[in-house]
Amino acid sequence: MNFREKLEHICVKNDSILCIGLDTDYTKIPKFLHTYENPILAFNERIISTTKDIVCAYKLNLAFYEVLGFSGTETLMKTLDLIPNSVLKILDGKRCDIENTAKKYAKTMYEILGCDATTVNPYMGYDSVKPFLEYKDKCVFILCRTSNRSASEFQDVGDKPLYQKVAEKVKSWNRYGICGLIVGATYPEELRIVRNIVGDDIPILIPGIGVQSGDLTACVKYGTNTYGIQTIINVSRSIIYAGSDEKFDETARLRASDLNTKINKIRYEKIRR
């Protein structure tokens, strides 16, 4: 099975296009965990164990592990080991470099860390993405329209805005069906345009729901393909930090489950029409 088939399979099995972002920050996790040997790992373990049947993927933001120095790499790898194979592992590093260097990044993400998908930045063009396309059973999510306030500064440059050119190019790079795009939930109209450009076959990873206040209804409606899939809605802080006491993991599950129900309602309404 390639990534797209795996994604479809797990979305159907868990009835979920929700991804939980493990942007785990020592200063934000429940205080009682601070006495544990590895607080970050203990936190991740409990979040994964209580939510793994209602998500399609976990996304680990590399910045939050790199900042821990030596122990960060260990915590990252141990967290990846805790994620069951039935659920997809996305490593979010937004790497971008010349081909010779990009090969090393691709090897790190796919071979050393063993993720199913990673994220890259398109600024340097095709040859910087090419090494990631050599891994035929993986997926590379390419930044298109990002969720932050300054997104328009460079992504809207040109008569046809840059982000649309990126979407068109990525469609043309997708010979082996292993490209995906990233579009922020905070820009629903741009999301609609991108889904129209790429058609049904390219998965879109959507951050920006939750703390960043993206529009859930619009992003599910516009982001999913004709069949209500090939979209991954990533939510980090508003799920994992929903609770702050001993039962934080149960609170996170309730929040995730509630959000997933809302997402599915929008998905099913869209398909039914």
Q: Does 78 bind its own copies (CB under 8 A)?
A: no
By CB under 8 A, the count of residues binding its own copies is 53
Phi, psi torsion values for 260, nearest 5 degrees = -65, -40
Binding status of residue 61 toward its own copies by CB under 8 A: yes
Start-to-end CA span in the chain (Å): 30
CA–CA–CA angle 186, 188, 192 (5° rounding) = 150
Q: Which of 9, 78, 169, 192 binds its own copies (CB under 8 A)?
A: 169
Hey, what's the torsion of the CAs at 176, 236, 67, 179, to 10 degrees? 10
Closer of 68 and 254 to its own copies (Cβ): 68
Binder among 2, 5, 31, 66 for its own copies (CB under 8 A)? 66
Task: Catalytic residue, from 52, 78, 94, 130: name it.
Answer: 94
When binding is defined by CB under 8 A, the residue of 5, 158, 189, 245 that contacts its own copies is: 158
Query: Which region, judged by CB under 8 A, interacts with its own copies, from 50-58, 164-172, 216-224, 255-263?
Result: 164-172
In the block, tokens 């599910």 appear at: 220
Separation between Cα atoms, residue 199 and residue 183, nearest integer Å: 15
Binder among 125, 196, 258, 261 for its own copies (CB under 8 A): 125
Judged by CB under 8 A, the chain residues 181 through 210 that form the site for its own copies are none
Q: Which two tokens stand for residue 218?
A: 């619009």
Q: Pick between residue 10 and residue 219 the one whose CB is nearest to its own copies.
A: 219
Q: Could you say whether residue 112 binds its own copies (CB under 8 A)?
A: yes
With CB under 8 A as the contact rule, the residue among 52, 78, 94, 270 that binds its own copies is 94
- Pick between residue 5 and residue 74 the one whose CB is nearest to its own copies: 74
Residue 270 a catalytic site member: no
Residue 271 touches its own copies, criterion: CB under 8 A = no
Residues recognised as catalytic: 94
Binding site for its own copies (CB under 8 A): 23, 61, 63-64, 66-67, 69-70, 72-74, 77, 94-102, 104-105, 107-108, 112, 121-128, 143, 146-155, 157-159, 162, 165-166, 169, 212
